[in-house]
Amino acid sequence: MFSKYKRPTIITATLFILGITAFLLAHTVFADVQNGLERQLRKLVGVARLAQMYYVEDIEWDDAMEGAISGMLEKLDPHSVYIPAEKVSANKENFSGKYEGIGIQYDIIDGYITVISPIPGSPSERLGIMSGDRIIKIDGKSAVGIERDEVPKKLKGPKGTSVKVAIQREGAKALLEFTIIRDVIPISTITASFMADDSTGYIAVNRFAAITSKEVEEKLQALEKNGLKRLILDLRGNSGGYLHEAVKLAGKFIKGHKLIVYTRGRSERIDDEYYADQFGRRLVRNYPLILLINRGSASAAEIVAGAIQDYDRGLIVGENSFGKGLVQKEFPLQDGSAVRITTAKYYTPSGRCIQRDYKGKNVKGYYDDIPDSTWITEDSLSHRPQYYTEKGRTVYGGGGIQPDFYVAYHNASKSPELINSMLTNRAFFEYVTEYVRRRRINYKDVDAFSRRFTVDDTMMADFRRVCAERKVDLKEEEFTRDQEYIRLRIKAEIARHLWGQNAYYFVMLEGDNQFRKALTLFGEARKLAALH
């Protein structure tokens, strides 16, 4: 039996031995990792030397090494990427400045310029260019296999100049031809902001840039002066951006010192927590809140939706979000390029990581597997981890943000090739310009216009005439099938011509079934948030 006087000495010695063992083990593991890395780097250098000595042609080593870096990062996850020097500055423009061009967010996927999303208010959006479109030709020359640094050289340019693109779209039998007139691309992150009725405010946020929380605050104050008593915050198609801007936005609706999001990485130095009041705020709103999301809502947009849902502060309506729960940090390189490396995963207040599975998938496969209605079936949900909101409602991780009310979007065009032909040939623009010039439209505002104006059969006949003059391939069956959408689009374009961008979206929401459903749910939102 050990003496009680000897026990502290034995414990101290034991702890010392354990400490030395842990240090030696850690050093050994680190040495193994380091040796493995050095072994692979030696292999890469060996292959490069063989290519230098024996390859049949001269090698462009800048391109080769950039390809090697991109390939390595792609093997890690879909969001760790190499960024060439010229795109580094382009990214800064997208989130803090302005430029002149056609207005798309894009990536090079399998050698194709792939539209991630058109920038709201840009020439591309006005012409109807859509997410997922592939640019096959630029000014008549093939763009397949184009180098990343060549894209802005061909698509950007002074305001008023034009560029012709041929686009491959899923479901379209032939390439879609567009002539795009370049313009100053708006830097605002607010697509639209207005009073949808005498008490309902509507704000659509298209991305989270350095000015987003400031812009939203300005819009909220303006709408509150006009009678806002409840709010629809539209984050559909919002692909994300700055995390701290998402925290600031969520903090406008969540009271107290509450956790909005936290990050966890391999190193504790990466771990961080973000709170609702962390960045200061003017005030916290307490009116009923509904968020609209869809498959294009990602990253920072999901942080906002996740916090609102976890604290039962508002209702989430629409379709499953994208499912990006990885946090990237950008590291500059000596030549002005950069790498964006995933350093952590982020978690909603309830503990959810909403990142979709990406193991064993290439980039294309990952983006093709965006959540849809199959992700909310009982069988699908049974395989996903469960968490609970502040009031005990069940929510799920591993697959984006699941809306509280799933509403599939039903109001898109039923004949996309026909509508694209109309847009490409500027049929809507020409008809509306002619109509407004010939007619006197007496409405005091867009609300009165929306309620009382009708696109009648005479207008449709005139529009068909313009389509014929503009060489639109007008198929009777397609035109009949899409009449409802065409009438709404003509009406919205007239509103845009008379009152601007907000008026266009005000009218288009007439046919938006997700928005219409949201208007019926404010009683549920008020009850959920325990508002009086």
One domain for residues 268 and 369: yes
Weakest mean pLDDT among 365-369, 406-410, 412-416, 512-516: 365-369
Predicted confidence at residue 439, as pLDDT, reads 87
Residue 87 lies inside a defined structural domain of this protein: no
Catalytic entry in 183, 234, 310, 312: 310
**CATH number, domain at 106?**
2.30.42.10
Judge whether 213 counts as a catalytic residue: no
Weakest mean pLDDT among 47-51, 95-99, 389-393, 519-523: 95-99
One domain for residues 268 and 356: yes
Phi, psi of 229 (to 5 degrees): -125, -10
- Mean predicted confidence (pLDDT) in 211-226: 96
Q: Is the predicted pLDDT of residue 454 greater than 80, yes or no?
A: yes
Weakest mean pLDDT among 83-97, 119-133, 240-254, 427-441: 83-97
Q: What is the pLDDT of residues 136-171, one digit of tens each?
A: 999 999 999 998 889 988 999 999 999 999 999 877
In this structure, the number of other CB atoms found within 10 A of the CB of residue 507 comes to 23
One domain for residues 30 and 48: yes
Catalytic entry in 248, 252, 324, 491: 324
Cα angle 204, 124, 477; round to 5: 95
Residue 385 lies inside a defined structural domain of this protein: yes
Predicted confidence at residue 259, as pLDDT, reads 97
Q: Is the predicted pLDDT of residue 13 greater than 50, yes or no?
A: no
Evaluated on CA atoms 307, 308, 310, 313, the torsion sign reads positive
Cα angle 334, 338, 341; round to 5: 130
- Max Cα distance, the chain (Å): 107
One domain for residues 483 and 441: yes
Catalytic entry in 124, 299, 337, 421: 299
Predicted confidence at residue 184, as pLDDT, reads 86
Predicted confidence at residue 93, as pLDDT, reads 66
Residue 452 lies inside a defined structural domain of this protein: yes
Beta pairing partners, 406 = 318
Judge whether 122 counts as a catalytic residue: no
Predicted confidence at residue 97, as pLDDT, reads 53
- Mean predicted confidence (pLDDT) in 55-83: 86
Q: Is the predicted pLDDT of residue 441 greater than 80, yes or no?
A: yes
Reading the block at residue 323, the tokens are 């499912």
Last-in-domain residue among 185, 206, 241 = 185
Instruction: Give the Cα separation of 36 and 33 in Å (integer).
Output: 5
One domain for residues 447 and 475: yes
What band does 350 get if pLDDT is binned at 50, 70 and 90?
A: very high
From start to end of 300-385, where are the E strands? 315-318, 326-332, 338-347
- Mean predicted confidence (pLDDT) in 248-265: 96
Q: List Cα–Cα distances, 378 to 79, 374, 384, in angstroms.
A: 29, 9, 10
Identity of the highest mean pLDDT range in 11-15, 31-35, 288-292, 355-359 = 288-292
Instruction: Give the Cα separation of 264 and 347 in Å (integer).
Output: 8
Closest C-alpha among 250, 245, 323, 251 to residue 291? 250
| DSSP class per residue in 419-440 | HHHHHHTTHHHHHHHHHHHHS-
Q: Using a pLDDT cut of 70, give the percent of the chain over it.
A: 92
Residue 139 lies inside a defined structural domain of this protein: yes
Predicted confidence at residue 23, as pLDDT, reads 45
Q: Is the predicted pLDDT of residue 195 greater than 90, yes or no?
A: yes
Predicted confidence at residue 99, as pLDDT, reads 80
Report which residue type is found at 271.
Answer: D
One domain for residues 103 and 32: no
User: For the chain, what percentages of helix, strand and coil (3-state, to nearest 5) are there?
Assistant: 45, 20, 35
One domain for residues 396 and 421: no
Q: What is the pLDDT of residues 17-46, one digit of tens each?
A: 444 544 444 455 445 556 778 888 888 888
Judge whether 379 counts as a catalytic residue: no
Last-in-domain residue among 139, 157, 185 = 185
- List all residues 6 or more positions away from 160 whose beta carbon is below 8 Å from its beta carbon: 181, 182, 183
One domain for residues 142 and 223: no
Give the count of domains, the chain. Answer: 4
Q: List Cα–Cα distances, 490 to 393, 444, 494, 503, in angstroms.
A: 43, 19, 6, 13
Is the CB of residue 128 less than 8 Å from the CB of residue 420?
yes
Q: What is the pLDDT of residues 315-346, one digit of tens each?
A: 999 999 999 999 888 888 888 889 888 899 99
**CATH number, domain at 211?**
3.90.226.10
Last-in-domain residue among 7, 39, 59 = 59
- List all residues 6 or more positions away from 368 whose beta carbon is below 8 Å from its beta carbon: none
One domain for residues 444 and 356: no
Reading the block at residue 215, the tokens are 């812009």
Predicted confidence at residue 363, as pLDDT, reads 79
Predicted confidence at residue 33, as pLDDT, reads 53
In this structure, the number of other CB atoms found within 10 A of the CB of residue 124 comes to 28
Residue 110 lies inside a defined structural domain of this protein: yes
One domain for residues 314 and 462: no
- Mean predicted confidence (pLDDT) in 462-490: 93
Residue 77 lies inside a defined structural domain of this protein: no
Instruction: Give the Cα separation of 201 and 232 in Å (integer).
Output: 6
Residue at token pair 């629409």: 318
Residue at token pair 């049974």: 382
Q: Using a pLDDT cut of 90, give the percent of the chain over it.
A: 52
One domain for residues 251 and 385: yes
Burial class (CB in 10 A: 0-12, 13-18, 19+), 201: buried
Residue at token pair 């459903």: 517
For residue 94, the number of C-alpha atoms closer than 13 Å in the C-beta half-sphere is: 23
**pTM of the predicted protein model:** 0.76
Q: Is the predicted pLDDT of residue 279 greater than 50, yes or no?
A: yes
One domain for residues 153 and 203: no
From start to end of 338-416, where are the E strands? 338-347, 386-388, 394-396, 405-406
Residue at token pair 């509507």: 202
Residue 80 lies inside a defined structural domain of this protein: no
Domain with 378 in it: 190-328+338-410+518-528
Average per-residue pLDDT for the chain: 87
Q: Is the predicted pLDDT of residue 270 greater than 90, yes or no?
A: no
Weakest mean pLDDT among 9-13, 355-359, 475-479, 520-524: 9-13
